[in-house]
Structure 1
Amino acid sequence: MNILLNIHYSRVDYVSMSANVSSKIINIQDRILDAAVQRFQHYGIGKTTMADIAGDVDMSTANLYRYFKNKEDIAVACSKRCLGDRTAILSCVVQNQSLDAAGKLQEFVLEMLRYTYDQVSSNPRINELVNIIAEKYPEVVFEKNTNEQLLIKNILLEGKEKGIFDFEDIGKATIAVHTSIHIFQLPLAMTIHKLDTLLDMARLTTNMILNGLNKR
């Protein structure tokens, strides 16, 4: 009996220890990403080295390589974290019970625009990161588009179920909407227009989309 109890508690201790180690690794990785974002914003990816990032988090360069294999690996992780934050914000819009489907679609586009504008405003070198991801890591772009289209699909299905929207093919409707609002997540567009102008453009675009979706 004592042997069985000892085995049980040993397993519990092992699981607890593993959880603590995993949590510690995640915390260290977050510190690394925070430092990398600051470096990328001020100096760009090209002028940032692994040694720079390691120094900012008070670790050796060799130790940094235990967590990320190279600088681009860190850049990808930064991008995924940023996109994850944006997806969470857009998901909150979709889950907002105080809005109908039309209101959700409009707020979805506006939140997408605001988030992109804030990111570009705080990180004028973001195009460098966007280009690297687009050229070398298409799977990240694919995941982003898939997540966005799923959220849009949920809005459209809700609208059709409530008798607000009318369309024949949910897949085609989702892609059409996603394509129509793509400009409001392009960093270049954020540098050409002021936020108020972009918001007006987003509202106009969304109204045109809704006119096409509304049940007659």
Structure 2
Amino acid sequence: MKEDQVRHQILEAAACRFANYGYGKTTIAEIASDCTMSSGNIYRYFDNKEAIAIAGVAVKLEEKALICEQATNTTAPAIEQLHQYMLARLRFSHAFNCGGSHLHELVQLITDRHHHLIDQYDQRLIAWLEQIIEQGIASGEFRSQDPTQTATSIAMATMMFCIPSFMQEPLPEMEAKLFGLLELLHRGLKA
């Protein structure tokens, strides 16, 4: 098996363990057992359990960003792009957060000790939203405004749609709230 495949196998096994049993209760030995390899072999790929968690979160954030970007039809009107992106973001976040009852431990670890991962994702999100805002301004769909500030404000206003503690509500209810917020944002953005 190639090195990338082994790393992927380890990350998948760890993700299942973290989701089902919690980060704190998961051991390297259990992850190794799930991968049918020795604990020592895990250390060839990752320094420790926290390194596995960091790598796993980085992979998930990249996956989330790609899914949201790919869901956006860049030839559509800007407000439609905003809807597409935010809906994909909500659906990914909801599915991920409903995937295990112990994910809050992992989120807490990243928030407390590795916030740079979240910052990197947020900067990518804001850059994508900024492109949508710029396109909306250029087409006359949105009034003239600072695209960076507007993108940052939209990211902040929609934050609840990707925070785990808000993901306990059923998806249709979350979608209805998102659509209401996006309608309000559209009224503020339009020319």
TM-score, L = length of structure 1: 0.85
Aligned to 1:53: 31
Please say if 1:194 is aligned against 2:170: yes
Distance in 1 between residues matched to 2:77 and 2:43, nearest whole Å: 48
SS in 2 for 1:34: helix
Aligned to 1:126: 103
Pairs within 5 Å for 1:147-158:
147-158=124-135
Aligned to 2:79: 102
Please say if 1:165 is aligned against 2:108: no
Please tell me whether the aligned partners of residues 167 and 173 of structure 1 are also in contact (alpha carbons under 8 angstroms).
no
Percent of matched pairs sharing the same residue: 28
Number of equivalenced pairs: 191
Report which of the two structures shows the higher radius of gyration computed on alpha carbons.
1
Aligned to 2:188: 212
SS in 2 for 1:122: coil
Distance in 1 between residues matched to 2:76 and 2:64, nearest whole Å: 19
SS in 1 for 2:98: helix
What RMSD, in angstroms, separates the aligned Cα atoms of the two structures? Answer: 1.2
Please say if 1:62 is aligned against 2:40: yes
Distance in 1 between residues matched to 2:164 and 2:24, nearest whole Å: 19
Q: Which amino acid aligns with 2:33?
A: G
Unaligned runs of 5+ in 2: none
Distance in 1 between residues matched to 2:4 and 2:176, nearest whole Å: 40
Aligned to 1:30: 8
Unaligned runs of 5+ in 1: 1-22
Q: CA deviation at 1:108?
A: 1.3
Residue from 36, 41, 63 that aligns with 1:85:
63
Please say if 1:179 is aligned against 2:156: yes
Q: CA deviation at 1:97?
A: 4.2
Aligned to 1:17: none
Distance in 2 between residues matched to 1:123 and 1:100, nearest whole Å: 36
Structure richer in helix, relative to its length? 1
Q: Which amino acid aligns with 1:198?
A: M
Q: CA deviation at 1:91?
A: 1.0
Please tell me whether the aligned partners of residues 19 and 103 of structure 2 are also in contact (alpha carbons under 8 angstroms).
yes
Please tell me whether the aligned partners of residues 102 and 210 of structure 1 are also in contact (alpha carbons under 8 angstroms).
yes
Segments of 4+ in structure 1 off by > 4 A?
none
SS in 1 for 2:59: helix
Q: CA deviation at 1:125?
A: 1.3
Please tell me whether the aligned partners of residues 183 and 189 of structure 1 are also in contact (alpha carbons under 8 angstroms).
yes
Q: CA deviation at 1:167?
A: 3.2
